[in-house]
Amino acid sequence: MPMILNPYLSFRDNAREALNFYQSVFGGQLTLSTFADFQASEDPAEAEKIMHGMLTTTQGMVLMGADTPNIMEYQPGSAISISLSGDDEVELRGYYQKLSGDGGAVTVPMEKAPWGDVFGMCTDRFGVSWLVNVNTQQATPTS
């Protein structure tokens, strides 16, 4: 089995809202488990918070996330961005528009980049940074 690297996002109290938003952007199947499902918190106020959520899309993307329990330090924002890339410009532009809209913000507009691809950056309404790159360069044959 190949090794897989998946983004796992941390939220304080809005993982359910965020993961449902990402499902509306990318489609796919979303599974959510609460702290109550696993008797994982002694705090009744945290019973319905998300202990683990996983979105699996038909394109093979997997995005995971959870609420951070109150007993743990939560640090919103981070030094990480999620990068999406591929050849389907229409699909990638659609993701970019949905992620940057409705409370999100455009950091770099989707346009031709110096390296020849179409590229844009945005931050969604949950503070997650996204880099979107449309591979437009044809592979150069090697001899």
Average pLDDT over residues 102-119: 94
Which pLDDT score is estimated for 42? Answer: 80
Query: What are the boundaries of each domain within the chain?
Result: 8-67, 81-134
**Alpha carbon of 111 to those of 4, 10, 137: distances in Å?**
30, 30, 14
- pLDDT at residue 142 above 90? no
Compute the distance between CA of residue 26 and CA of residue 58 in angstroms, rounded to an integer: 9
pLDDT tens digits for range 99-109: 999 999 999 99
Q: Which two tokens stand for residue 86?
A: 């591929």
Report yes or no: 73 and 12 within 8 Å, Cβ to Cβ.
no
What letters, b where the CB count within 10 A reaches 16 and e where it falls short, cover 5-38? eeeebebeebbbebbebbbebbebebebebbeee
* Class of CATH domain 81-134: alpha beta
Reported as half-sphere exposure (CB side, CA atoms, 13 A), residue 69 has a value of: 15
Compute the distance between CA of residue 61 and CA of residue 19 in angstroms, rounded to an integer: 13
Average pLDDT over residues 26-30: 98
pLDDT tens digits for range 49-81: 999 999 999 999 999 999 988 888 887 765 678
CATH topology agreement for domains 8-67 and 81-134: yes
Which pLDDT score is estimated for 41? Answer: 77
Average pLDDT over residues 113-140: 88
Which pLDDT score is estimated for 2? Answer: 72
- pLDDT at residue 141 above 70? no
The third-level CATH classification (topology) of the domain covering 8-67 is 2,3-Dihydroxybiphenyl 1,2-Dioxygenase; domain 1 (3.10.180)
Is 134 or 137 the better-scoring residue by pLDDT? 134
